Amino acid sequence: MTIAAGFFHRDGILLCADTEHQIGGEFKTHESKLTEFECVAGRVAFAFAGNDAFAVSAIEECERKLKQTSSKDALTVVRAALDAEYKRIVLTHPEQAFNVGVHYWLLFAVWQRGCPVKL
């Protein structure tokens, strides 16, 4: 099971997660479960747990939306994108009610120019 955590620090936010990815219950790899990128509004960072493929897909959609918009409000864009993706990917999945392996969880930090970082 993945552990992801986020901590406030006087200089910003610390996101951390383990590195074990399990594919199909049998094959394991070790890769980062953290990602970050810049956009017009500032910087966004993610840590994820749960279904790797679904989580990465949601993060990539957030990045795509943030890079397509001129909005300076990254938090609103990320919230809307994550809500839409979770509904599209997980809540419509036929096993979502009884298979915890379908779900994913995200921690994200948003730093917007001129504003304190948010977790």
Q: For residues 66 and 53, what is the distance between their CA atoms, to the nearest angstrom? A: 20
Kindly report, residue by residue over 66-90, the tens digit of the pLDDT.
Answer: 999 888 888 899 999 999 999 999 9
Q: For residues 100 and 2, what is the distance between their CA atoms, to the nearest angstrom? A: 13
Residue 90 sits at the vertex; the CA angle it makes with 8 and 83, to the nearest 5 degrees, is 50
Q: For residues 100 and 28, what is the distance between their CA atoms, to the nearest angstrom? A: 18
User: What was the pLDDT predicted at 67?
Assistant: 92
Q: How far is CA 115 from CA 11, 13, 43, in A?
A: 13, 13, 11
The model carries a pTM of 0.88
Kindly report, residue by residue over 17-50, the tens digit of the pLDDT.
Answer: 998 877 666 778 888 999 999 998 889 999 999 8
Instruction: Write phi, then psi, for 13 (nearest 5 degrees).
Output: -130, 145
